[in-house]
Structure formats: C-alpha cells, structure tokens
C-alpha cells in the first residue's frame, strides 16, 4: 500500500510539473524585461489594446448561449432515449461522436457553403433575413449553432454517465404517480439528480467555446480566441502575456461555475 501511494504521488507530481513548469516559464518571460527587471507592462498593455473587452464579452455570451442550447437539446433527448428507446443508444452515440471525426476545416467549409448558398437561393423568402441575422457580428448565432454541434460528443458523454448513475425510470414513474406531468417529472425529479452531469457538460462546453479558433476565424468573426491571435503580432511578450491571461480567465470562469454548482448542491441538500 505504501508503494502504491508513493507511486500515485509521484505520478501526480510529474503531472503537476508537466503543466506548471511551462506556465511558470511563460509568466517569467512576460514580466522579466532585460535591463529593466520585473515589469508588468505586457499585462497592462493587454487591457489598453482595442477589442479586449468586446471580444471577451462576445465569447462569454456565445458560451452561455451554447450551454443553454445544447443542454436544452440533449437533456430531453438522452432521458427519452433512456426511457423509451434504449436500443437506439448506439445510433445516437455514433451520431453525437461524428464531430470528433469530421475535421474542423471541413466542418467550417460546409458551414460557409451553406451561408453562401442561402442568400442566393432564398433572397425572395423570409428565410433570407434569418441568414442575415445569424451572421450579425455583434452576436453571430451561427457560431452558437456550430459550437453546439462541436460540443455534442462531450455533452452526450457527461449526461450519459450521469444517467447511468441513477434509476431514471423509477424517478419518472414515482413523479408520475404523484400527479406530475412528463415535463414536471423531468424538471423536478430527474434534473436535480443530474446536477453533477450538467455541471460537467457546462465545464466542457465553456472550455470549448473559449478556446475555439478555427471556425470563428474562417467565418470572419472575432471572439476572444481569435482576438488573442490577431493582437499577438510580432510582440513576443505581449503574445505570451495574452495567452497566460486567457488561461487564467478560463480557469477563473470554470472555478466560478464550480462554485455556483457547489452552492446550489449545498442549498438543495439543506432543503
């Protein structure tokens, strides 16, 4: 047992060094200015650079919209699959795993083709305004749709693992026997028991949206990840400082989301 614990701590230490040493080296590189000593000028320049606030807020808005939409689509789907059509589970699993197989370049090329085809063929229909609206630079909803598709594999796995840990059928039947409708049974009986799975799915989706670059860049929009690349340019210290700051921003948002989930879980257990 002692050898096993020592081995675990050794693996954990090596993993920590693998992540922390490059991060520490990056931080030192950004604050150690030759001939000047320690300076945080690289970080102060980030906030004065145009587009920082707007791109970060855009990414956060896209992340919130993507999380809400993908959960709204997937939670009823996986619960219905679990209750009414368990034989279709392999089919749904394969479909949800397809975004991992399709390269992002091919995916965004398909989206671009559809966006070009729509206005040409639907210019005299009400759908033309829809194609224009979803490409509004202030909030490109087309990115939300793309991110929902890209998040499907992670959200499905998280929700499926959560459903495997509970007896969904018994919960729904108990709620229905108490007079609840199907929607009420889902909201009041199933969702509280899926809080951990919902939180994990939200974690993964948030990290995906904040770090996604290819789709947004090729479609011509500028969320936070694209802004980081565009602002880097030839300024090495500023480039690394922006990357370090983006990493800390992502960690802070994930910790905030975890804190909200923890407080909700504590309040529900007390109630």
Based on the structure, what is the number of domains in the chain? Answer: 1
Residue 170 within any structural domain of the chain: yes
Residue 257 within any structural domain of the chain: no
Residue 130: CATH number of its domain: 1.10.3720.10
Residue 80 within any structural domain of the chain: yes
pLDDT tens digits for 218-271?
998 999 888 888 877 656 777 788 888 878 877 787 777 777 655 555 554 455
φ/ψ of residue 116, rounded to 5? -80, -35
pTM of the model: 0.82
Residue 17 within any structural domain of the chain: no
Least trusted range by pLDDT, from 15-19, 36-40, 106-110, 130-134: 36-40
* Residue of 69 and 166 predicted with greater confidence: 69
Is 88 a residue whose pLDDT tops 80?
yes
Residue 244 within any structural domain of the chain: no
What is the reported pLDDT for 140?
92
Instruction: Tell me if 30 sits within 8 A of 244, measured CB to CB.
Output: yes
Q: 90-125 b/e with 16+ CB inside 10 Å = b?
A: eebeeebeebeeeeeeebbeebeeeeeebeeeeeee
Residue 42 within any structural domain of the chain: no
SS3 letters across the chain: CHHHHHHHHHHHHHHHHHHHHHHHHHHHHHHEECCCEECCHHHHHHHHCCCHHHHHHHHHHHHHHHHHHHHHHHHHHHHHHHHHCHHHHHHHHHHHHHHHHCCHHHHHHHHHHHHHHHHHHCCCCCHHHHHHHCCCCCCCHHHHHHHHHHHHHHHHHHHHHHHHCCCHHHHHHHHHHCCCCHHHHHHHHHHHHHHHHHHHHHHHHHHHHHHCCHHHHHHCCCCHHHHHHHHHCCCHHHHHHHHHHHHHHHHHHHHHHHHHHHHHHHHHHHC
Q: Which domain holds residue 137?
A: 62-221
Residue 40 within any structural domain of the chain: no
pLDDT tens digits for 217-227?
999 899 988 88
Least trusted range by pLDDT, from 58-67, 92-101, 228-237, 248-257: 228-237
Residue 163 within any structural domain of the chain: yes
Spatial neighbors of 186 by CB under 8 A, at least 6 apart, are 75, 76, 79, 172
Instruction: Tell me if 63 sits within 8 A of 205, measured CB to CB.
Output: yes
């Amino acid at each position: 047992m002692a050898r096993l614990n020592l081995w675990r701590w050794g693996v954990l230490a090596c993993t920590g060094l693998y992540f922390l040493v490059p991060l520490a080296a990056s931080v030192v590189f950004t604050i150690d200015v030759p001939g000047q000593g320690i300076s945080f000028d690289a970080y102060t320049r980030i906030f004065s650079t145009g587009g920082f606030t707007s791109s970060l807020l855009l990414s956060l808005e896209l992340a919130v919209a993507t999380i809400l939409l993908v959960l709204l689509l997937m939670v009823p789907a996986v619960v219905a699959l679990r209750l009414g059509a368990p034989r279709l589970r392999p089919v749904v699993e394969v479909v949800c795993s397809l975004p991992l197989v399709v390269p992002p370049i091919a995916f965004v090329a398909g989206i671009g083709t559809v966006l070009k085809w729509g206005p040409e063929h639907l210019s005299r229909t009400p759908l033309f305004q829809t194609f224009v609206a979803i490409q509004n630079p202030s909030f490109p909803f087309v990115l939300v749709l793309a991110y929902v598709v890209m998040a499907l594999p992670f959200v499905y796995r998280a929700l499926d693992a959560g459903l495997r840990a509970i007896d969904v059928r018994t919960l729904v039947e108990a709620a229905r026997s108490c007079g609840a409708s199907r929607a009420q049974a889902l909201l009041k009986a199933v969702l509280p028991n899926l809080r951990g799975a919902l939180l994990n799915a939200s974690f993964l989706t948030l990290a995906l949206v904040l770090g996604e670059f290819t789709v947004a860049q090729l479609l011509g929009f500028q969320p936070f990840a694209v802004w980081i690349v565009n602002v880097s340019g030839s300024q090495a210290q500023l480039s690394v400082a922006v990357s370090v700051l983006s990493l800390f921003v992502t960690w802070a948002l994930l910790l905030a989301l975890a804190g909200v989930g923890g407080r909700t879980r504590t309040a529900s257990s007390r109630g």
